[in-house]
Amino acid sequence: MHEMALCEGIIGIVEDEARKRAFARVTVVCLEIGALSHVAPEALKFCFEAVAARTIAQGARLDIIELPGTAWCMACSESVEIKQRYEPCPSCGSYQLQVTGGEEMRVKEWEVG
């Protein structure tokens, strides 16, 4: 389950920032996760609680903003929303799509207390 390793990375980011900015507790961590990122939001939430135990994020709420997958269709010259890779353009049916968004996962913000 790679979500556990991802949560360890998230906690690492938060702890690094806590050292730089001198805060001692995080109450909310907000993530942006793209639909094409291969990250399961529910698994991430489950793992986050376990990884955050005995850290500055213990008891913190994990908020996830799910971003759609987007692609540029080379056939119809439109930016389109896609749910998964290798599906046809919803506008023209072409498979000539260049993914332009939805692969990301990033810590957007956090609240400290």
- 97: Cβ contacts below 8 Å, ≥ 6 apart: 71, 72, 73, 74, 80, 82, 88, 89
Say what the pLDDT of residue 1 is: 56
Comparing CA positions, the residue from 44, 20, 23 lying closest to residue 32 is 44
Burial of 103 per CB tally in 10 Å (0-12, 13-18, 19+): middle
Torsion of CA 110, 3, 5, 24, to 10 degrees: 20
Is 48 a residue whose pLDDT tops 70? yes
- Please write the tens of the pLDDT for every residue from 18-34: 999 999 999 999 999 99
Residue 55's domain spans which residues?
A: 2-112
Q: In CATH, what number is assigned to the domain containing residue 62?
A: 3.30.2320.80
Kindly state the average pLDDT of the residues 1-9: 90
Comparing CA positions, the residue from 64, 60, 57, 21 lying closest to residue 40 is 64
- Please write the tens of the pLDDT for every residue from 51-108: 999 999 999 999 999 999 999 999 999 999 999 999 999 999 999 999 999 999 999 9
Instruction: Output the pTM of the full model.
Output: 0.84
- 96: Cβ contacts below 8 Å, ≥ 6 apart: 73, 74, 75, 89
Query: How many domains, in total, are found in the chain?
Result: 1
